[in-house]
């Protein structure tokens, strides 16, 4: 680390506060569970401030006071040190914490918001320090030896306030993206309703008056083509795997626009691509649209209950032969086109928002680096 400004010091977290270690009360004791006290695991640390809205489980007062979990008061830093290492948040209310977490309480010389912001910059480092053969985590030695550049408390407050304001702008842009996605979903459902006739086998009429048919009468799915990364020759055509763009190649196998479903790996993920592309072996791609609009087909599959058709629990896969015979309600092309025009406007707006968010992310990361070097 570069030389710190005057009045700053490099401090071990154990010298300016105290770690606790989480735990889980026995699930066999029913008197411990289904109360009103939030209980969080690593999976629940998804925001800077963590509240009961994040929690998926709740303790009774008896379970909370059983001594089997970490007692976290408002202001406690929730550092994930197992399973989802690198996540960090701050408790905004009283809660219990599982063994995934090493809760940290700041002493009088440290501000939780400042410490939490710094620990978030260590995410990649913390993940690189994980150990374990089945469940990866950080050892207590690593956790207790973590250090932080520490200015006087007033400077910590100033830095935390600047970072919070900058992060607030980013959060608003993220919310704008989420709202545009919600609008598209609402528009699709308003125009088409529930198209999945196979979920209602006794009903043979669509509430919207659409015709009943087999999925294979409208589109044909095909398994993608194998292509190892070492065999790719750099080019302009995206190779789309189940998880998204895998790499680029000088050849293509399908003409855009295209719609792809994750066949194995990221099973059920749906991708839309405007350009010509190479559908990877880990996907099913729409080989024939039969006069249907690609944008409509894409969003049809976005709402499709794929999980009902996964095969194998250990390594799930998606078989097109289970999808083709399904009964669906299918709207006319004119209505598909109306949705596609809305989808086009949505896509352009979302692309602008994502570009703006990417710029903000880069600026925020630069701001973080300057903040903890004392350059703000």
What is the predicted pLDDT for the residue at 313?
A: 64
- Whether CATH 3.90.220.20 fits 9-150: yes
pLDDT at 302: 96
Using the predicted structure, report yes or no on whether residue 48 has a pLDDT greater than 80: yes
For 194-217, the pLDDT digits (tens) are 999 888 876 677 778 898 999 999
| φ, ψ (nearest 5 deg) of residue 105 | -105, 125
**Among 239, 210, 367, 219, residue whose Cα is nearest residue 294:** 219
pLDDT computed for residue 34 by the predictor: 96
- Give the three-state DSSP class for 243: coil
Task: List the one residue out of 192, 182, 234 whose CA is nearest residue 332.
Answer: 192
Of the two residues 240 and 208, the one the predictor is more confident about is 240
Write the pLDDT tens digit of every residue in 60-77.
999 999 999 999 999 999
Residue with tokens 């459902």: 189
What are 14's two structure tokens? 């154990």
Q: In the prediction, which pLDDT does 136 show?
A: 87
What is residue 133's predicted lDDT score, i.e. its pLDDT? 77
The 10s digit of each residue's pLDDT in 102-120 is: 999 999 999 999 999 999 9
Residue 308 predicted with pLDDT over 90: no
Q: Among residues 48, 8, 12, 15, which one has the least CA distance to residue 155?
A: 8
Counting other chains too, the contacts that 134-142 makes at CB distance below 8 Å and 24 or more residues apart are: 135/82, 135/83, 136/82, 136/83, 136/85, 137/81, 137/82, 137/83, 137/85, 138/81, 138/82, 138/85, 138/102, 140/21, 140/102
Q: How do residues 6-16 score in pLDDT, each as one tens digit?
A: 999 999 999 99
* Model confidence band, residue 134 (pLDDT cutoffs 50, 70, 90): confident
CA separation for the pair 133, 135 (Å, rounded): 6
- The helix (run of H) or strand (run of E) holding residue 187 is helix 153-192
pLDDT of amino acid 132: 85
Instruction: Answer yes or no: are the C-beta atoms of 328 and 196 closer than 8 Å.
Output: yes
Domain extent listing, the chain: 9-150, 152-175+334-376, 196-330
Percent of the chain with pLDDT over 90: 86
Q: Please give the average per-residue pLDDT across 147-155, as a whole number.
A: 97
Q: Per CATH, is 196-330 categorized as 2.40.10.220? A: no
Banded pLDDT at 310 (limits 50, 70, 90): confident
Are both 9-150 and 196-330 of the same fold?
yes
Quote the tokens at residue 217: 């009468």
Average pLDDT, the chain: 94
Rounded Cα distance, 103 and 174, in Å: 28
Cα-trace Rg, the chain: 25
Residue 320 pLDDT exceeds 90:
yes
pLDDT top residue among 283 and 229: 283
Residue 302 and residue 299: Cα distance in Å, rounded?
A: 5
User: Cα(26)–Cα(30) distance, rounded to whole angstroms?
Assistant: 8
Decide if pLDDT at 90 tops 80: yes
Q: What is the DSSP letter of 264?
A: B
* pLDDT given at position 120: 96
């Amino acid at each position: 680390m570069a030389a710190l400004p005057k009045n700053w010091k490099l401090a071990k977290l154990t010298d300016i506060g105290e770690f606790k270690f989480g735990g889980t009360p026995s699930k066999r004791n029913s008197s411990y569970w289904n109360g009103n006290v939030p209980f969080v695991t690593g999976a629940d640390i998804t925001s800077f401030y963590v509240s009961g809205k994040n929690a998926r489980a709740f303790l009774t007062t008896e379970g909370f006071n059983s001594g089997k979990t970490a007692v976290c008061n408002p202001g406690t830093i929730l550092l994930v040190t197992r399973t989802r290492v690198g996540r960090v948040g701050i408790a905004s209310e009283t809660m219990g914490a599982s063994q995934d977490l090493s809760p940290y309480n700041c002493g009088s010389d440290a501000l939780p918001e400042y410490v939490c912001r710094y620990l978030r910059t260590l995410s990649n480092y913390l993940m690189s320090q994980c150990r374990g053969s089945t469940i990866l985590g950080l050892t207590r030695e690593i956790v207790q030896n973590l250090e932080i550049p520490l200015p006087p408390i007033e400077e910590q407050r100033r830095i935390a306030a600047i970072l919070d304001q900058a992060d607030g702008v980013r959060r608003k842009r993220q919310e704008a993206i989420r709202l545009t996605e919600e609008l598209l979903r609402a528009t699709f459902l308003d125009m088409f309703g529930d198209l999945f006739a196979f979920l209602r086998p006794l009903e043979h009429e669509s509430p919207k008056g659409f015709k009943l048919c087999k999925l294979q009468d409208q589109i044909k799915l095909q398994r993608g083509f194998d292509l190892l990364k070492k065999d790719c020759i750099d080019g302009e055509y995206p190779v789309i795997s189940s998880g998204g763009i895998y790499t680029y190649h000088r050849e293509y196998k399908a003409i855009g626009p295209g719609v792809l479903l994750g066949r194995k790996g990221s099973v059920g993920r749906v991708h839309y691509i405007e350009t010509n592309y190479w559908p990877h072996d880990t996907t099913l791609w729409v080989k024939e649209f039969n006069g249907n609009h690609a944008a409509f087909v894409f969003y049809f599959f976005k709402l499709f209950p794929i999980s009902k058709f996964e095969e194998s629990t250990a390594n799930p896969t998606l078989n097109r032969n289970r999808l083709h015979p399904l009964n669906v309600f299918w709207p006319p092309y004119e209505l598909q086109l109306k949705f596609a025009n809305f989808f086009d406007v949505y896509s352009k707006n979302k692309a602008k928002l994502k570009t703006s968010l990417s710029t903000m992310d880069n600026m925020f990361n630069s701001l973080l680096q300057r903040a903890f070097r004392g350059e703000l």
